[in-house]
Amino acid sequence: MKKNIGAVNALYPTAVVLVGSELEGVINYINIAHVGVIDMRTISISMGKSHHSNKAIKLNMTLSINFPSEDMVVEADYIGLVSGSRVDKSKVFESFYGELKGAPMIKNAPVCMECKVINILDMPNHDVFLVQPLNTYCEEKVLLNGKIDLAAVKPLLFDMHQRKYWKLGEGFANCWSVGNSYKK
Ligand SMILES: Cc1cc2nc3c(=O)[nH]c(=O)nc-3n(C[C@H](O)[C@H](O)[C@H](O)COP(=O)(O)O)c2cc1C
């Protein structure tokens, strides 16, 4: 017997990403957990309209998406606690740039994408930035046969229900494959 707990969005965990932007020459990072895959090229980033990062992104129409590892949890949480409108967060991480202006990336993040904003969905309190990566930069150590290996990335997962960061478990079955053993 299931208990109905109301209109609760149960779609967690999500990956935690650190979104980089730049306003008036100052680098800023924000913690974003409401991130999604639209298709193989397009990602959604749901961001409160009042956030400092929001202004910067609308100005440049670029941003970066950085995957923190488990060992970056303190810094990742900190940048989600304070706003760049009051606190300079530019030194929390060492940054580097790729090809895009306004999209600083985090040196010690294992995976970083520099992205262009292709559309903005205007919601009552949030803007949903639809973005596409121009380049994805990975530490060699997180690549297995040239592809990203999540076991090496050690991403942070976000759980809104218990307000906790989670670690990834183990890969245990192959997609588009294990289903072939289904017995009709
Ligand atoms: C774990 C975590 C997840 C968050 N996820 C989001 C999110 O998905 N969207 C959002 O707008 N804010 C999110 N926030 C809040 C912002 O990160 C926070 O308000 C931040 O200080 C805004 O920074 P800024 O004003 O410098 O842009 C999250 C914060 C934390 C700690």
* Confidence (pTM): 0.98
Please identify, by atom number, the ligand 1 atom nearest to the C-alpha of residue 80.
17
**For the chain, domain boundaries:** 14-181
In the sheet with 35-37, reading across from the earlier edge strand, the strands are 26-32, 17-23, 62-67, 111-122, 126-138, 43-48, 35-37
What would the mean pLDDT of 27-53 be, rounded to a whole number? 98
Which residues have CB under 8 Å from 55's CB, separation 6+? 23
Say yes or no: CB of residue 53 within 6 Å of ligand 1. Answer: yes
pLDDT tens digits, one per residue of 52-104: 999 999 999 999 999 999 999 999 999 999 999 999 999 999 999 999 999 99
Which residues have CB under 8 Å from 80's CB, separation 6+? 30, 31
Using CA positions, which residue lies closest to atom 30 of ligand 1?
80
CA 128 to ligand 1 centroid distance, Å: 13
Which residues have CB under 8 Å from 123's CB, separation 6+? 46
CA 35 to ligand 1 centroid distance, Å: 11
The predicted pLDDT at position 27 comes to: 98
Polymer length of the chain: 184
Q: Are 46 and 136 in contact (CB under 8 A)?
A: no
Say yes or no: CB of residue 68 within 6 Å of ligand 1. Answer: no
The predicted pLDDT at position 114 comes to: 98
CA 151 to ligand 1 centroid distance, Å: 26
Per the listing, tokens 């017995």 go with 183
Say yes or no: CB of residue 77 within 6 Å of ligand 1. Answer: yes
Q: Domain 14-181's class?
A: mainly beta
The predicted pLDDT at position 183 comes to: 96
pLDDT tens digits, one per residue of 150-177: 999 999 999 999 999 999 999 999 999 9
